């Protein structure tokens, strides 16, 4: 018995649709796949790290940061979750702990307005002579420019939504990565709650703590002269 032509065409279309959907799923996974750490941070490295997580407006749209914070605490990593308006006082707190020797690794994460505040917090810490190991912004809502830097800055944003890529200003030092996750099904309100995004954030934090075993480059105090060799090596990073 010969198969019905209409049935065969429909089956072919269904197969093509499934193949297209699988391809899109694989592309989405690649877009948000994390750089995973080879091992969990040691207890000593975790204990001298602090992760500051900055929520956005009204404290009600960034509750995924609470989940990230709880997962980090389960690894023995101290965290502070606060509204973005607290960024200045948090920078003072982090600087005091760093200079007292209680902290060696400072990591910042922000969502929405919390992501927009990250460059200001980094700049204040740098002015206080304190390095930032890693900063991760989730869908910063305004045009954001980095004039000073963390060792690494990752901006995960939705290119066809309210989020914006982060730009490096002249003189920026560090590594800047803009990661566009459009087409992956996440939205501005859900990006911090998305399981894949959360896994990437935690994996990047774990990897940064593992790297912190190497001594961080000192941050010059404001107005301090820079050595000629350091000045020559600190060419502006390109995204």
User: What pLDDT is stored for residue 5 in this prediction?
Assistant: 52
The answer to the question of residue 9 being in a domain is no
The answer to the question of residue 231 being in a domain is no
The answer to the question of residue 224 being in a domain is no
The answer to the question of residue 33 being in a domain is no
User: What pLDDT is stored for residue 36 in this prediction?
Assistant: 45
Tens-place pLDDT, residues 99-136: 999 999 999 999 999 999 999 999 999 999 999 999 99
Q: What are phi and psi of 138, to 5 degrees?
A: -115, 100
Domain membership of residue 128 as a residue range: 39-219
The set of residues, in sequence order, having a beta carbon less than 8 Å from that of 146 and lying 6+ positions away, is 119, 122, 153, 166, 167, 168, 169, 172, 174, 176
- What CATH number did the domain enclosing 96 receive? 3.40.50.1820
Q: Contact at 8 Å (CB) between 53 and 80? A: yes
CB atoms within 10 A of CB 37: 17
**Average confidence (pLDDT) over 48-75:** 94
The answer to the question of residue 23 being in a domain is no
Cα gap 92→125, rounded to integer Å: 8
Tens-place pLDDT, residues 7-22: 444 545 544 445 444 4
Tens-place pLDDT, residues 132-157: 999 999 999 877 778 777 999 999 99
Q: How many domains does the chain have?
A: 1
The answer to the question of residue 151 being in a domain is yes
* Rg for the chain, CA atoms, rounded: 21
pTM of the model: 0.74
Q: Contact at 8 Å (CB) between 156 and 191? A: yes
The answer to the question of residue 97 being in a domain is yes
What crossing angle do the helices spanning 64-74 and 195-211 adopt, rounded to 10°? 40
């Amino acid at each position: 018995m010969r198969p019905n032509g209409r049935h065969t065409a429909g089956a072919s279309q269904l197969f093509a649709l499934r193949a297209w959907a699988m391809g899109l799923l694989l592309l989405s996974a690649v877009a948000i796949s994390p750089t995973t750490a080879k091992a969990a941070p040691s207890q000593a490295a975790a204990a001298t790290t602090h992760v500051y997580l900055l929520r956005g407006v009204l404290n009600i749209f960034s509750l995924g940061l609470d989940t990230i914070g709880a997962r980090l605490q389960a690894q023995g990593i101290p965290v502070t979750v606060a509204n973005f308006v607290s960024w200045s006082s948090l920078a003072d707190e982090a600087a005091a702990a760093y200079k007292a020797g209680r902290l060696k690794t400072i990591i910042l994460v922000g969502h929405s307005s919390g992501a927009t505040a990250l460059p200001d917090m980094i700049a204040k810490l740098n002015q206080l002579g304190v390095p930032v190991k890693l900063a991760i912004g989730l869908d910063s809502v305004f045009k954001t420019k980095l004039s000073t830097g963390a060792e690494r800055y990752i901006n995960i944003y939705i290119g066809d939504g309210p989020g914006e890529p982060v730009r490096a200003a002249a003189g920026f030092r560090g590594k800047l990565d803009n990661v566009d996750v459009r087409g992956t099904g996440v939205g501005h309100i859900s990006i911090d709650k998305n399981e894949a995004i959360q896994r990437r954030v935690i994996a990047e934090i774990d990897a940064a703590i593992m790297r912190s075993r190497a001594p961080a480059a000192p941050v010059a105090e404001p107005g301090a002269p820079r050595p000629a060799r350091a000045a020559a090596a600190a060419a502006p990073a390109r995204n």
